[in-house]
Amino acid sequence: MCGIVGMVSADEFYAREAVQRLKRLEYRGYDSFGYYYDGKLFKKTGHIIVPETKDRTKMIITHTRWATHGGVTDANAHPHRAGKVTIVHNGIIENYEELREGLKEKGRVFSSETDSEVAAHYFDEKLKTKPMKEACVDFIKDIKGEFAILVMIDREDTLYALRRDSPMVLGVGENINILASDIYAFSDVTSKAIFFENDEFAAVKSGSYTFYDRHGKEIKKKIQQFKWEQEESTREEYEHFMLKEIMEEPKAVRRLILSLETEQKENFGKFVKLMKESRKVTFVASGTSYHASLLGVYYLHKCGVEAQTIIASEFEHFVGVDRNTLVVAISQSGETMDVIEALKYAKKNRAKIASIVNVPYSTVQRMSEISLNIVAGQEICVAATKSFVNQVTLMLSIAREFGFRINTSNIPGKIEKIFRQKDKIEKMAKELNRHNDIYVLGRGLSYPVAREIALKIKEISYMHAEGMMGGELKHGTIALIEKGTPVIGLISNKDYDMLSNIKEVEARGAHVIKITNEMKGDFMVDTSNDGKFGILATIVGQLLTYYVAKERGLPIDKPRNLAKSVTVK
């Protein structure tokens, strides 16, 4: 979580430019924001507001926060200052209480509830007796937990950056260097980047930089030329980014299909070959990406491929891996901490690593022997929509190599047919708006879809929603069904077992909404291939969620308590 941008330049630039760059990373957290330059500290709760100031500076640090330690208050917002040191921090300092007490004994006074403020006092105290390079070595040795941290020292022309497990990258420009959590912060001005690995730190000036390992030994780092095509981050004619990104799904799928046939063709072949050569294939993912992986496992299972998927945060507890295992990570951001921890466990046990990501040069991609990009483009809305569709399209493309019969080329056209039902979906949303509980039922292929639709409803509409296996309904949850309770039933093909589950809730008075492709229903999905049902039915759910949230007047693109990139455990 949290977004960081730091800039150091030979020439003056407008301070507001740095805040504009920070706003490009607002998807990482938006509880509060702040910045510091030339002795001026500003921090405030709420979404990022680009200041109207015409102040110019040569060095600045900025931060947008997703709260972990301490409430959402101005005092807890970053940057944090102590003496001559100002810092911004992403991650969690696990031993901050112990460090805090030790610093208090030395007379340090704290003004926030955060773990991050410890870092500011730590460096200010160390600098009384040591140069900054030695202080960085001590910090890496003494700190337990994760950090991406920028340190600014009064009257110095250098930004210091340290990284462990939380993302940090240096964008190298002409007479300017930009440190950030994500290449998107500077991808419009430079295509040159240096990625920090764990327990590395750097001293960065306007026209130079020096990297060090954990022991303070200077290391040479390779500049990577990156290419990342992004749509402009504007809503255009749409009221919200979520709707814009849903409407971009046909274009995103076409872009992926073309990519797999051209620039990713060789990598795609190697990816499939590695899967075929592995004795065991295990997917690992979180949230929406996990639901995409569930669909992928379903497709592969239909081809006789032994595969499984495990939620990343529980990976170590429920799966065994060895040198004959291929672990495939699926992550939109490529920086999901739970996924990274699962890959560390897999590497420790000598498993092979592959990945499916949307953000190039991310940590997950760099940990992989081979990686495929879903090329969905930037998503500004926190809720994943087009990235999910492209993840599932890629899983269908992989399954086809194992014998799954699917024509992916007509997926975009079928998605566009779903859009023709928008008015009908919006009308249904007005009815659902009166309720605070909803159940989404699926079986087999439609079970992951039920999970994903329910997740979207929770994230964006703030309704209590459960996505569950239709067969499990009668083992407890049916006790919650009463007259008028909305239930979404997902019927793929002629699934009479699913139809029986729907009849069970109808008998208890439930208001059933059917999404189906071959039986009579409220929303019809145009496919006779059950693989595509996984994508198309989900899009009905995405639109339904959007219109319920709009009806409720909710902050659709930035729902409370959430962030797009989950970089803490």
Q: In angstroms, rounded to a whole number, what is the distance separating the alpha carbons of residues 10 and 562?
A: 37
Q: In angstroms, rounded to a whole number, what is the distance separating the alpha carbons of residues 372 and 534?
A: 21
Task: Give the helix/strand (H/E) hosting 193.
Answer: strand 192-195
Buried b (16+ CB within 10 A) or exposed e, 239-248: ebbbbbbbbb
Instruction: Tell the residue number behind the tokens 């020439």, with chain if given.
Output: 11
Concatenating the DSSP letter of every residue in 403-453 gives: T----GGGHHHHHHHHHTTHHHHHHHHHHHTT-SEEEEEE-TTHHHHHHHH
- Other CB atoms within a 10 A radius of the CB of residue 348 amount to 10
Q: In angstroms, rounded to a whole number, what is the distance separating the alpha carbons of residues 415 and 233?
A: 23
Concatenating the DSSP letter of every residue in 70-100 gives: S-S-TTTSSPEEETTEEEEEES-BTTHHHHH
Is residue 265 annotated as a catalytic residue, yes or no? no
Instruction: Tell the residue number behind the tokens 């990139």, with chain if given.
Output: 565
Q: In angstroms, rounded to a whole number, what is the distance separating the alpha carbons of residues 5 and 326?
A: 36
β-partners of residue 439 are 466, 487
Name the catalytic one among 54, 414, 564, 569. 564
Structure tokens belonging to residue 428: 């249904």
Burial class (CB in 10 A: 0-12, 13-18, 19+), 133: middle
Is residue 550 annotated as a catalytic residue, yes or no? no
Which of 72, 151, 163, 141 minimizes the C-alpha distance to 119? 151
Question: What residues contact 232, with CB distance under 8 A and at least 6 apart?
Answer: none
Burial class (CB in 10 A: 0-12, 13-18, 19+), 561: exposed
Measure CA of the first residue to CA of the last residue in the chain; give whole Å.
10
Classified as helix, coil or strand, 457 is: helix
Question: What residues contact 4, with CB distance under 8 A and at least 6 apart?
Answer: 25, 61, 62, 63, 88, 89, 90, 148, 150, 168, 179, 180, 181
Q: In angstroms, rounded to a whole number, what is the distance separating the alpha carbons of residues 420 and 413?
A: 11
Which of 71, 73, 122 minimizes the C-alpha distance to 101? 122
Phi, psi of 516 (to 5 degrees): -150, 170
Classified as helix, coil or strand, 376 is: coil
Structure tokens belonging to residue 520: 């009579």
Phi, psi of 104 (to 5 degrees): -65, -40
Handedness of CA 317, 319, 325, 329 (dihedral sign): negative
Handedness of CA 397, 328, 390, 460 (dihedral sign): positive
Residues serving a catalytic function are 2, 564
